Amino acid sequence: MVIKRLLAGIGFGGASVETSLDSSVTVPGGSLQGTVVIEGGDVEQKVEQLTIGLQARVETEVGDQAVDSAMEFHRVRLGEGVALVPGQRFEVPFELFVPWETPVTTHRGRHLHHMNLGVNTRLHVAKAVDPGDLDPVAVQPLPAQAAILDSLFSLGFTFKHADLERGRLARTRQRLPFYQEIEFRSPRRYRGLNELELSLVTDEHGIDVVLELDKKPGLLFSEGRDTYHRFSVSHHEGAGRDWSGHLNQWIDSLAGSRNLL
């Protein structure tokens, strides 16, 4: 995938930046490779810094409203201090590490609606900063993440949407300032349940799985039951297990066979 931008409109003298990814598909803990091409414009200028990073759309609670904004969560410097003369061309190859906590944006070839994540390249010239464009990236789940998602689908849950929320999930290995929530509509077999929300907080060692049940009002549930369920698995353990039985047992105990008051 290629994005090319002309920078004359913000005083860059017609210089252009072109970012080309060898592949726009990656996984958490993986990498993205590509090339940034810079071409000089009409005047000589100095490239003070060239950076490339990952950016996502994150939801922030402001009062009673949710506001979406672009948030950069990983950036590296590719070069600096280069004189750019008219007509000159620079090619800068790169390999960008994808943090383990990077949210997934696709599952089994399906884009997770509302996820907007990609590579952003910025050129710092003459004390001005090109804001950059977003080169979309598809982040596929790791095997352990996919196993948990597959199990929910096998139980009859249907995907609703996914988003990133600014904040922290308690008692997890979270490091980034936001976390992902993947929302599912409940199948009819769980008569006391409206929806289920899933968060997967990942590092190089494994995954913290957080599930939240959105139960229907007016139903009788055992007192003291928590509608949250947290457990941790290693990548190896998570990938080699069918989680359907474990998840069904917990969900059914809270939202399966309940009668209306």
CA atoms within 13 A on the CB side of 3: 16
State residue 98's pLDDT score. 98
| Domain residue limits, the chain | 2-139, 143-255
Burial class (CB in 10 A: 0-12, 13-18, 19+), 82: middle
Cβ pair 19, 34 in contact under 8 A: yes
Report the CATH number of the 2-139 domain. 2.60.40.640
State residue 15's pLDDT score. 73
Residue with tokens 């990942």: 202
Cα four-point dihedral sign 227, 156, 141, 118: negative
Distances (CA, A) of 152 to 71, 197, 208, 231, 243: 29, 11, 16, 15, 8
86, two tokens: 């008219």
Q: Is 239 helix (H, G, I), strand (E, B) or coil?
A: helix
Q: pLDDT tens string for the chain (261 positions)?
A: 444 444 443 444 567 888 999 999 999 999 999 999 988 878 777 788 889 999 999 998 877 777 888 999 999 999 877 788 888 888 999 999 999 999 999 999 999 999 999 999 988 876 666 667 789 999 999 999 999 999 999 999 999 999 999 999 999 999 999 999 999 999 999 988 999 999 999 999 999 999 999 887 655 444 434 589 999 999 999 998 999 999 999 999 888 754 433
State residue 48's pLDDT score. 84
